[in-house]
Amino acid sequence: MISLTSPVKTRAHDWPAGLKLAGLCASTLGLFYITSPYAHLAILLAILAAYAAPGRAFLRSGLRSLKVLWPFIVIVGIWQVVIGEIADGLMIVMRMISAVALANLVSMTTRLSDMIAVVNWLSTPLRKLGMPTQVLEIAIALVIRMVPVLMGKGTRLTESWRARATRRPSWRLVLPFTLLALDDADHVGDALRARGGLTSERES
């Protein structure tokens, strides 16, 4: 399976995955207790500096991954303007960008296998109770990997539409995108079955 880890080597690549994931959880939780817009702005600038520190290639790759947030930013911004709470809306947007940017930074500097190893360790009590945790580990790995893959295919589908039509992309893209997602799901299912499927640790 292809990892989302950035090929640009940083110091954070060598940090333990468990430490980074624990720090991500604590940082994301802490964002909801910060009520100062200036503090949120400072956090955003610090995160941007963290992206820029490894170099221009790392920065470009990280910012490209965050483009998916624009529709949500627009929706939240319009709603906050409608209800007359612009200041709160600005803080919500900054908090959302910071949380996703931090998560993206962790995924860029952590191998997927290391993340799954942390999940495997955390689910040890469940295995002792006889619960198969392999399904959970595979599901997390598939979500981490397949979401950006589907986003990329959606982008290429939109670009193909624009290259062949004068009208803007519309709901008509939903059906071909759904078929692409189902086709990917079939391929992943076939690959899992070819490797023995999802069996519990007791059966393996």
In this predicted model, what pLDDT tens digit does every residue of 117-149 receive, in sequence order?
Answer: 888 888 888 878 777 777 777 777 777 777 777
The per-residue pLDDT for 39 is 93
The per-residue pLDDT for 198 is 62
Kindly list the distances between the CA atom of residue 125 and the CA atoms of 47, 141, 153, 195, in Å, as whole numbers in the listed order: 35, 20, 38, 26
Alpha-helical segments (H) within the chain = 17-31, 37-52, 56-65, 70-82, 86-108, 112-122, 124-128, 134-164, 174-194
Distance CA 73, CA 62 (A): 17
The per-residue pLDDT for 2 is 40
Cβ burial of 20 (10 Å; 0-12, 13-18, 19+) is: buried
C-beta separation of 142 from 187 below 8 A: no
Backbone angles phi, psi at 5, to 5 degrees: -65, 135
* CA 184 to mean position of chain CA atoms: 18
Residue 88: pLDDT band with limits 50, 70, 90? confident
The per-residue pLDDT for 202 is 42
What pLDDT digit, counting tens, does each position of 101-116 carry? 999 999 889 888 888 8
Of the spans 33-37, 69-73, 148-152, which averages the highest pLDDT?
33-37
C-alpha angle 67-68-73 in degrees, rounded to nearest 5: 90
pTM, entire model = 0.71
What residue spans define the domains of the chain? 11-110, 121-194
Instruction: Please give the mean pLDDT across all residues of the chain.
Output: 82
Q: Is the pLDDT of residue 27 over 90?
A: yes
Distance CA 39, CA 33 (A): 11
- Identify the CA nearest to 117 among candidates 12, 198, 18, 9: 18
Give me the mean pLDDT over the 143-161 stretch. 78
